[in-house]
Structure 1
Amino acid sequence: MSETDVIEYGKEAVWVMLKMSAPVLSVALLVGLIISLFQALTQLQEMTLTFVPKLIIISLTLVATAPFMAQTLGTFTEELMDRIVALG
């Protein structure tokens, strides 16, 4: 296995990680922005107001995107294992 192969596998792993985390991170960002705007408008600075809705929405997003994440990670793992077997 050459250095370029290792770099290519690393790039693919980072890409898979970004694909899997993008839905959750974007939802967390959007919810945080909405809650921040609400707090700024109402001058209500309660810490649980930011934590609890984010926790609920992120949990729902994880449940909703779990099949996509499992399929993406499974495909990447299968391709990686096939490449490892082809080396030997």
Structure 2
Amino acid sequence: MEFGTGIEHLQLAYLSILKTAGPILAVALAVGLLIGILQAATSINEATLSFVPKLVIVFITMALISSYMLTTLTDYFLFVFDSIRSIR
């Protein structure tokens, strides 16, 4: 395998990671920021108030975009297996 091919594989791997985990992390960031602003405005310093809603919303987000995540990972692994097959 040449150097350029290895770089292409790494770029596709990082892109697949971003496409798979990015939406979940963005939702977790937005919910955390919203809850943090709400806690600062109301002076409520309860740890479970920030953890439980974020956990529930992240699980709901994962359930809603699971088919997209599965499709993205399937496409990437099909590319990887095709690349392995073409080496020989």
What does residue 67 of structure 1 align with? 67
What does residue 85 of structure 2 align with? 85
The superposition leaves residues 55-85 of structure 1 with CA deviations (integer Å, 9 ceiling, x where unpaired) of 0000011111110000000001001111111
Identity score, percent = 38
Q: What CA RMSD, in Å, does the superposition of the two structures yield over aligned residues?
A: 0.7
SS in 2 for 1:76: helix
Aligned residues: 88
Per the normalisation by structure 1, the TM-score is: 0.96
Distance 2:20 2:36 in 1: 26
What does residue 34 of structure 1 align with? 34
Structure 1: 4+ residue segments shifted above 6 A = none
* Structure 1: stretches of 5+ with no match in the other structure: none
Per the normalisation by structure 2, the TM-score is: 0.96
SS in 2 for 1:20: helix
* Structure 2: stretches of 5+ with no match in the other structure: none
